[in-house]
Structure 1
Amino acid sequence: MYQDIFMKTKDILNVVYDQLDFKSGQLFDVTSQPLRRIGQDDWLNKGEWLTAAKRAGAEKIFFVDNNPVVIFARCQKSEEDKINCFNRLWSLARPRVLFLECDGDLSVLDLAQKPVRQDDKKRKLKSLETLCQIKNVAEQLQAYHRDNIESGKVFEKGRFGDIKHRADKSLISDLKMVRSELIEAGLNGDNLKYAHALIGRSIFIRYLEDRDILTDDYFKKVARQKAGWTDLINNPSAREEFDFSDIHALYPRVLQDKEFTYALFKALSKDFNGDMFPDVEQEEQHVEIEHLKLIQELIYGNVGIQKKLFFFSYKFNIIPLDLISAIYEEFYHSTSNKEDKKTKARQDGAYYTPPVLAEFVLSRVLTVKELQKQPRVLDPACGSGIFLVEAFRRMVRYKWQKKQASLDFNELIEILGNQILGIEVNEEAARITAFSLYLAMLHYLDPPSIQQHIRNGNILPNLLVSGKRNKNNYNSIHVATNAFSLDIDDLGDVDIIVGNPPWGAPGNNADTAIKERQEVMLDWCKSNSYPIGDKEPSQAFLWRSFDFLKEGGRCALLTSAGVLFKHSATTQSFRSEWMNRVRLNEVFNFTHVRKFFFKGAISPFVMIHFTKEDQGKHPVEYWSAKQVVALKETQAVLFSKYDRRYLVEQDITDNKTWKENWFGRHIDGQFLKQLSYSKRLECDVKYKGAGFKKGNKSKELGWLKDFKFLLTKQFSKYGEVNDDLLTALSGKVEHRGSNRCLYEGQRILFKEGISKNEYIISRLENKSYSVNDSIYSLNIKDNPYAILGILWSSFAKYYLFMTSGSWIDFHDKVLLTELLQLPIPVNLYKEEAKRVISIVIKLRNYHPQEWDMSHPEGILKEKINAQRRKWEAELDEAVFDLYEFSEEQRDLIRDCCEVTLPFFYQPYNSVGVMPAIENGDTSWIQTYADIFTRRWKPYLNDDEVMRADVHIGASGNMLAFEFYPADIGDDWDLTPRYKSWEHILEQIGKTLPKAMGTSQIVLDGVVHAISDDA
């Protein structure tokens, strides 16, 4: 909404920094070089953003952790200046919020909205807020206060749109569009590589023009080779009316003539050398003028059905260079069919890694301490080189700050040639790696310096391994090479390994090349006696990385979460042997947020950071990212201290350790350890097994024909299974099930898959019918009603969620082996068991007629459900009594089932993310306070109780309980206090070893402090 109030001042941004408290957080001045007041770690992690924002015309950047979220800039008053300023800053891609001051007016803008074209008749940006009076900053812009930025609250309530028009997303979309058009125009099949080379080379030239490296003189020098070419570049092309950029580049004019275009390519190949201009002569035979016109239209943003690409807006001297590696997502696979490409990506386990993840991985492993050693960094499956580019950039930033001067050509080549190593099985992807590294190197050189080197004949190094041994061949990137067939001696010492190697076995339908690579991998593991489970490449690459590393070397890889969560015998063997040879430093679990980072790759993933040395008594830091609105809206890597667990003296080879510490806490671990000494469900089971499997249909039905079939979608917890729900079986099956007892007689049926509403569905059945292998059948030795009551209880949900390695939001299920480990009380005949049984019988027998137009005498569905919920609550209490759980243990179970599980599936609107106090309702915090005071009662005097004051601060983002001893009989007063926050911070500051500002408290998420006089 616009709110325009007259004001004349040119210093409104300074008021914003103060009144919205950005100065208390990570607010940085943009800069073109490292400054002594910027610490080494900050420069390493934020330096690239600070220099890019400087080129884009920003004034300051505000970071949340290392993620650039808010940009501050100034421009002239005119709408034209405002649009041009926005379009430049849009090219930064990652930041989400822009505070733009224009001659005394302030606009708050969403940087993920579309850039504005010069031919747009409306020519106006959409503002989130517009402010024209300085005195209204604190009030009108409260939603954008630092507290609300850091907590992510600013992104709630639909204030921002989606991010599909953000620069990085748009670049990928535009490249896909032009690739599709080139394929339609005939560059498909074996010629598809020429389309890829043409697009990549054109991006390189656009970059060189934006950086003023390719000047008019360079083009004119090439043009003098043939009459008429000079006229082409001196006169606008017929399509130049579509040039909405402010560059007015010459390259599009060159594209009007095929011979001129390839003369330019050959000149660039000679002057820059490197590996980005291979096979130019052969390519020239297949590329026609119509293909060059499509590239020309890409540059003018006038290609495709809608003729509305954003390519005109990309400022390649600003746009993050790692976005060039986005070409990988579209170009890695040689097929021109979209569905075939997706299938091949899944088979090969290859997916484009977002820059934010690559930056995060490198920030954990390539630290200042490691950079001091001048490490050699390897990516064993480098793809488009995104990890190697970021490694190179960190090395340059480190040396740049240490030297306090820019690095020269030879210093950059020394880093590139001696410290960067890659292995890539796909030749085209390897060339993109070289291409990306060349861009990264040129990025750190001034245009006059580059032109001088061209004149002096200094060319870019050849990085791809060619076997040639000369000064300019560094043989750093092993191309068309399988990491499992490469001789370690060919690499030399490797200090650090990073990357995102393939996940998941390719399956039987994979193409021949992928299967052959898989066989090489499996043979290598076998010959080295390295166990891996399920033919999983992630596990193999962890072994291979261990093998490549020198002693004391460090590795950080993105891998399948199955490395930690799967519990097959072979995977357990892998964990036991591999973890006994390394020191596991950190694990970051991205399972809950994976869809924000890998489009189409639904497999859960983790980042594993280890050192090639013994674990000893070193703890493992285990972080688990959770879906929060801020992450969804910014796609930043965000963790709070509440997401961290320290694994000390826990069995890290056990998959249950990783599961219970994902959403559980230390106290859950203690509870589960206590339960581990209990009797197991398997002790009370006579027969067990899954139903029949259709599979390969190799067997006749045989005796299975005696049983009608219940579809899994008809399987429910309550109600009778009527004959009209059953169908006759036909055809063949892979297996029938272990025996007839699975389908007849009294038995408990348990659905393998997790329902997002009921979670666990099981029933006690007497009727004979068959089920498929998505349902387990258990023949209970004795007292099946008590067992059913336990399975229906919150305890079963709690235990199975905390321990099942397959219940991880990816085809969620509970395996039979996991179900059979459910703890069961020794005595199922004591009085408490009778209560459980009586409630189970009531629930099983309760199936009243539901009200509808045909049954007006029926009961409303809401009332039926309410009655069941009442009995289910009673059943929980009866089961808790049966197990003799303490009050604390009951609270753990309730919290998991009422807060954690709903948040797991509905992270943006479940009770776990609702305000603790809303509309004056303090019932939730009253419950919390009651539980807390019960815990403390044993430590107080007989005449004392705990009471509390409640304080709200940090712009409503934080709640503080201040507990104190009081006399018995004192009433609660939990009325929130809003003016005492500074007092609370002062009290916390006196208590903690190191005082914390509001910013750090908001970022950490939780702080505990106990005063000396408590």
Structure 2
Amino acid sequence: MRPADWKELLALTDRKAPEVFDQDTKVAGTPYADEIRKAMRTLSISGVFCNQGVPQIMVLEQSDYDRGQVMRVHAALWNQGLASVLVAISADVIRVFSLARAPGALDHKQFEEQCLIEAIDAAADALSLKDYVYGAESGRLWLEKADFFDARDRIDAVLLNNLKVAHDLLSQEGLTSDEAQAILIQTMFVAYLEDRDIATRDYIAEITKGAHETYSSLLLAGDVSALEALFKTLQADFNGDLFVAPCSFDDSEHPQRLTENTLGILHRFREGREEMSEHSGQLRFWGYDFRYIPVELISAVYDRFLGHDPASRSDAGAYYTPMFLVDATVSQVWDTLQPDVKSKGVFLDPACGSGIFLVRSFQRLCEHWRSGAKTETIRWDSLLKMLERVRGFDINGSAVRVAVFSLYIALLEEVAPPDIRALAKKGRLLPPLWNRTLKCQDFFLAEPEASRADVVVGNPPWTSRRSVKGPGLSWSKTHAYPTPSGELAWAFVWKAREHLQKDGKVALLLPAMGFLHNHTSSSVNARLRLFSDVEVLSVINFSDLRRQLFDGAIHATALIIFQAPNTKKNYSFEYWSPKADLNLAIKRFITLSSIDKSILALSEVQRNPLVFKQKLWMRGPEEKLFGHLNRFSKLSDFVEQYGVIQKRKGDPTRGWVVGQGFKPYHPERTSASSEQSYESEVVHETPYLPVTSLTPVALTVSGLKEWTSSRVHRRGFERGFSGPRILFPRGVSSSGRLRATYTDAPLTFQHIIQAIAAPPSETDRAKFIAAILNSKLFVWFAFHGTSSFGSSRPEVQQAEMLRLPMPKPEELRNRERAHSIQQEVVQIVDSVQARAKEILLPPDYLESVLSEIDKLTFDYFDLAHEERILIEETVEFVIPALQPSAGSVPQLWKQTTQAERADYADQLLDSLSDWFPSPTKLNAELAGRNEDFAILKIGMLEASDFTGYSEERADTFASALKKLSKQIGKPLARNFQTIPDIRIFAGQNLYLIKPTQRRFWLRSAALSDADAIAGELQTLLQSSEQQSAHA
């Protein structure tokens, strides 16, 4: 087989670096350049396919299938933990292996049973092999072959599990947590020295006087004295901060003396041939190989290990940052840096944890050095200078020790083993980092003048004033910086500015709610101050990924990159809002798609507190509809908040008033805020409504019992317990609707439920409002117009509810029809109330009622057909897909059907029809498709030739793409998942290249695409007119 055949087989012939690398390509311009070079040089990998910078498919070519070589390569790549698929090509058979699965136990035959996805005949099944690349780009591959890509089988998960188990077993043997962590770090470092052939068999034999040749045999023998001798020699040869003594990094301490049992535990951990969990014990043929495990992966794993006590980590506000999120952060800020900063600048992480951001920064510095040099070998003194340029602070001493360990390995990774051994013979190989460049110190106690940086990067702790410790908030108060809700992350942002050099950059992962979405006055003011005092370069809002990024964290994150302000008063910046997708299943990268990118101006941030939230899912048509609805009168125009009335000492018994229910008293709670209590007879004597019993439109009140006590922590809005009123909870229901009901029956409820009390003379209006609050229109408006729903928790706060549009009929175009609709809706509420006590209601009764209310609400607001489409599809597809949990596959991600593609095409053509004269009609047909991508062709026809949408002549996607490429005279091969809105004008036709996932083929997507196409047509017409004028 010819060397280039693998590209043709995988449909990669026209792909270039940094997407595809082969043996003839210089590996540069990609975050994992060193790992790719290592795979090619030491494993004979022929080619590497990368998806958004991350190796995804490795190609191994063999003249004849050699299972032994494939197993060795597979084991190395499994340890590397980056790529997901190994394609082994031999003769005319292509074997596809999962790199997520570890090899089986001691039987070689189990390898293929465990890891082989399929064997493909190159001649007969070439098309299925091409689909591997397309399936990897779309994420379909991970879904269809889910059994082969379980994240729990990957090296990081296995290593983390064994770290936890080993730590716990060592603790049971009498070691403290600090001692157990220390000896595990030391063991991993020795393993690294061994696996890289730095600490050779002869080296260990000489130290142990011939008793042992490997660290593993020393541990297995339980030879404590040999271990101490080894550590003493390592400290002398390598210096650094790791080998002061077993279980200790500080020579002023007296280390715990190890025993045969503890060494036995360390032996099991070092070998890595088993899952150490007592419930598993599964054996593997290959153990860890630290030659291939990337240091950043080790650092990330250890970061998770340090946080495996969720309670303490939550209290500190510090969460493990996944490696792919670190990569996204470092890559984004790296691309903003000037060459001199890349060559000489200082990088600082103010809360460095295990050092993963610093490791990735150091690796980027090394790659930048190579890009400007004629050799890939970096001099030792140059490496030390680069190492000195990465610095960090952290209050957790154990974390700083791991950062030291991680950077030592990152340093040694840049040097060939023979050169390391030569340096070791000279002594003092590793420079001391502890409390020099990596300081166990609170960032807020550091003097900015003594720790200036060109780049401040990291993921600082997020905590509110309830749990925040240390001087961060007091520092902010002293320097007059706002910290809304006592959020410590704000303090890190302000302090980071103080440390910047003149043209420095800050890139921090921050809580998205507090920094982007919260529109309380304190948060808005702090946000405006930040965006006005600095120049923001880009914001990436990861809100939709919140359930899949941080283990145990409940808040979404955002990356904000900024620098000192420029001279422009109204600057612009990039705003990205990536969406969760199938590729998150392998947790190796985040898809940044052009369709999720906006350009925002400072003036927009100043004018609209909700701009970041609205741009999460809004496109042009949604913005127009929201703006139209937002111009109407709102609930706040006639409803007043109970708390506001109380503050001005007004009368809450008159007019329209909204307030919350009572807050229960819990005497067992010890916080000062929980001690206050009051007596409320009405709570104890009136039937109590649990939130689970609140049904839309009307209530069934029979069978409800009183609250168990008259003592409450807060009485709440007691007028809301009787009389005509609308009840609604904060949370959005699982059906994707707000849940509101009308009642005049006496009922109490907790503060999770809110009540709008109405004057007795306006009960019909209250019924009307209660009913339409359940409609799709109102949940759509709340989704786009509130801070939390869709970005954090699915809830709508009381003050946000009052911003919903609620026009009187007089404000609408057809006021007579609006009055009539109001009466129809009131009749529906009365009917539902009358039937509420019936036991045998049809199962679809409530749904049919809500459907009728939906239609009447659309009619009341006089919405056009296209506007109704926007709302219907958001409620049906988008809202159920918000912030999906790991493993879920929302309908929005699934393959579109032919009927849906036809609906999309019809809507697109209808929206574009005004651009073309009457005798001409637009026609749409599918030019090509596979399971992941499709090409839609739009052409102009005479009306008599119009046939409607068709897929009858559709070619394969690869063939259609090749024809289109030939037609326009340039290659089109690329990752269409990251650019899902490509439009190509060729001859008299327009071609749209789109992923086949439903999100891109909704009718609402057609409306947005039509807007974009119309804009491009307008530009083309203007350009043509200008050319004619100059002719």
Contact kept in structure 1, 2:345 and 2:455, CA below 8 Å: yes
Q: Aligned letter for 1:307?
A: G
Contact 1:255 1:261 in 2 (8 A): no
Are positions 1:155 and 2:142 aligned together? yes
CA contact (8 A) 1:622 1:646 kept: yes
Contact 1:937 1:945 in 2 (8 A): yes
CA displacement at 1:274 relative to structure 2: 1.4
Cα gap change, 1:505 to 1:716, in 2 (>3 Å): same
Q: Secondary structure at the match of 1:553?
A: strand
The question of 1:683 aligning with 2:637 is answered yes
In structure 1, the partner of 2:724 is 746
1:870 and 1:968 mapped to 2: Cα distance?
A: 40
Residue pairs, 1:776-795, within 5 angstroms? 776-780=754-758, 782=762, 783-795=765-777
Report if aligned partners of 2:465, 2:485 keep a CA contact under 8 Å in 1. no
User: What letter is aligned with 1:414?
Assistant: K
Residue aligning to 2:677? 699
Structure 1 residue 498 displacement after superposition: 0.6
Counterpart in the other structure of 2:153: 165
How has the CA–CA distance of structure 1 residues 950 and 78 changed in structure 2, closer, same or farther, with 3 Å as cutoff?
closer
Structure 1, 425-434 or 672-681: larger mean CA deviation: 672-681
What is the CA–CA distance in structure 2 between the aligned matches of 1:991 and 1:805, rounded to whole Å?
Answer: 47
Q: What's the offset of the Cα at 1:216?
A: 2.4
2:261 is equivalent to residue 276 of structure 1: no
Give yes or no for contact 2:697–2:770 (8 Å, CA) kept in 1: no
Corresponding residue number in structure 2 for 1:351: 319
Alignment correspondent of 2:48: 61
Any conservation in 2 of the 1:256–1:293 contact (CA below 8 Å)?
yes
User: Given the alignment of the two structures, is residue 904 of structure 1 paired with residue 882 of structure 2, yes or no?
Assistant: yes
CA distance in 1, matches of 2:711, 2:967: 71
Contact 1:92 1:320 in 2 (8 A): yes
Change (3 A) 1:595 1:251: farther
Q: State the SS of the aligned residue for 2:94.
A: strand
Q: Secondary structure at the match of 1:755?
A: coil
Deviation (angstroms), 1:793: 2.0
- In the TM superposition, 1:576-655 aligns within 5 A as 576-614=528-566, 616-648=569-601, 651-653=604-606, 654-655=608-609
CA distance in 2, matches of 1:32, 1:384: 34
Unaligned runs of 5+ in 2: 244-248, 640-655, 666-673, 989-1016, 1018-1031
> Residue 1003 in 1 paired to residue 984 in 2?
no
In the alignment, what sits opposite 1:573? 525
Quick one: distance in 1 between partners of 2:88 and 2:257? 48
| 1:28-427 alignment runs, 5 A limit | 37-38=25-26, 40-42=28-30, 44=31, 46-52=33-39, 54-74=41-61, 77-101=65-89, 105-118=93-106, 122=110, 124-131=112-119, 133-144=121-132, 146-159=133-146, 160-187=148-175, 191-224=176-209, 230=210, 232-233=211-212, 252-253=218-219, 256-277=222-243, 278-279=249-250, 282=253, 284-300=255-271, 301=273, 303-305=276-278, 306-308=280-282, 313-329=287-303, 331-332=305-306, 341-367=309-335, 369-373=337-341, 374-405=344-375, 406-417=377-388, 419-427=389-397
Deviates more, 1:380-389 or 1:887-896: 887-896
3-state SS of the aligned residue for 1:495? strand
* Displacement of 1:138: 1.2
1:557 corresponds to 2:544? no
Question: Is the 2:156–2:297 contact (alpha carbons within 8 Å) kept by the matching residues of 1?
Answer: yes
The separation in 2 between residues aligned to 1:619 and 1:353, in whole angstroms, is 29
Structure 2 residue identity aligned to 1:324: I
What's the CA shift for 1:45?
A: 5.2
Question: Which amino acid is 1:581 matched to?
Answer: D
The residue type paired with residue 195 of structure 2 is: D
Match of 2:649?
none
Q: Write the deviation string for residues 868-904 of structure 1: whole angstroms up to 9, x where unpaired.
A: 35414422432332xxx34443332233223321322
Whole-angstrom distance in 2 between the partners of 1:576 and 1:963: 48
CA separation in 2, counterparts of 1:516 and 1:899? 43
Counterpart residue identity of residue 802, structure 2: L
The answer to whether structure 1 residue 495 and structure 2 residue 454 are counterparts is yes
- Kept after mapping to 2: 8 A contact 1:32/1:51: no
Deviation at 1:971, TM superposition (A): 4.7
Counterpart-to-counterpart distance in 1, 2:87 and 2:188: 30
What does residue range 443-462 of structure 1 map to in structure 2 within 5 Å?
Answer: 443-462=413-432
User: Which deviates further from its counterpart, 127-136 or 763-772?
Assistant: 127-136
Report the RMSD for the aligned CA atoms in angstroms. Answer: 3.2
Residues 697, 774 of structure 2: 8 Å contact kept: no
- Structure 1 residues 48 and 555: CA distance shift in structure 2, 3 A: farther
Greater CA deviation, 113-122 or 583-592?
A: 113-122
Give how far 1:84 is off.
2.6
Report SS of the residue matched to 1:554.
strand
Sort the Cα spacing of 1:430 and 1:955 in 2 relative to 1 into closer, same or farther, 3 A: same
Task: Kindly state the Cα deviation for residue 676 of structure 1 after the two structures are TM-superposed.
Answer: 3.7
1:728 aligns with 707
TM-score by length of 1: 0.86
- 1:170 to partner: Cα distance: 1.0
Cα 1:265–1:104 change in 2 (3 A) is farther
Are positions 1:716 and 2:684 aligned together? no
Tell whether the 8 Å contact from 1:385 to 1:432 is kept in structure 2 after alignment: yes
Residues of 1 paired with 2:212 and 2:21: CA distance?
Answer: 36
Contact between 2:45 and 2:60, CA under 8 Å: does it hold in 1?
A: yes
Alignment of 1:521-536 (within 5 A): 521-536=472-487
- Measure the CA separation in 2 of the matches of 1:527 and 1:438: 38
User: In structure 1, what is the Cα distance between the partners aligned to 2:465 and 2:259?
Assistant: 37
Instruction: Please report how far the alpha carbon of residue 985 of structure 1 lies from its aligned counterpart in structure 2 after TM superposition.
Output: 5.0
Alpha-carbon contact 2:531-2:602 (below 8 Å) kept: no
Other-structure match for 1:433: 403
Change (3 A) 1:450 1:758: closer
Matched, 1:892 2:874: no
**Preserved contact between residue 9 and residue 129 of structure 2 (Cα < 8 Å):** no
Taking a change above 3 Å as real, the CA distance of residues 216 and 938 of structure 1, as seen in their structure-2 partners, is: closer
Alpha carbons of structure 1 residues 713 and 104: separation in structure 2 relative to 1, 3 Å? same
* Counterpart residue type for residue 742 of structure 2: L
Q: In the TM superposition, what is the alpha-carbon distance from 1:502 to its structure 2 partner?
A: 0.6
Aligned-partner residue type, residue 347 of structure 1: D
Please state whether the residue corresponding to 2:533 is helix, strand or coil. Answer: coil
2:476/2:482 contact within 8 Å kept: yes
Q: Distance in 2 between matches of 1:32 and 1:1008?
A: 30
C-alpha contact (below 8 Å) 1:155/1:629 kept by paired residues: yes
TM alignment of 1:499-510, pairs within 5 A: 499-505=458-464, 507=466, 510=467
What SS class does the counterpart of residue 842 from structure 1 fall into?
A: helix
Moved more, 98-107 or 744-753: 98-107
Once residues 250 and 764 of structure 1 are traced to their aligned partners in structure 2, the CA distance between those partners, rounded to angstroms, is: 73
Question: What's the offset of the Cα at 1:354?
Answer: 1.7
Alignment equivalent of 1:835, drawn from 821, 835, 839 = 821
Give, as a single letter, the amino acid of the residue that structure 2 aligns with 1:318: Y
Partner of residue 868 from structure 1, selected from 840, 849, 852:
849
Instruction: Say which SS state the counterpart of residue 403 (structure 1) adopts.
Output: coil
Q: Structure 2: which amino acid aligns with 1:626? A: K
Do 1:538 and 1:560's aligned partners in 2 also have CA atoms closer than 8 Å? yes
For 2:742, what is the secondary structure of its paired residue?
A: strand
- CA 1:123–1:887: 2 relative to 1, 3 Å: closer
Displacement of 1:968 after TM fit?
7.6
CA contact (8 A) 2:544 2:883 kept: no
- Structure 2 residue matching 1:723: 3-state secondary structure: coil
User: How far does residue 612 in structure 1 lie from its aligned partner after superposition?
Assistant: 1.8
Q: TM-score, normalised by structure 2?
A: 0.85
Distance, in Å, in 2 between the alignment partners of 1:147 and 1:255 is 51
Q: Structure 1 residue 960 and structure 2 residue 939: aligned?
A: no
Distance 2:702 2:854 in 1: 32
2:222–2:261 Cα contact (<8 Å) kept: no
Shift of 1:347: 0.9
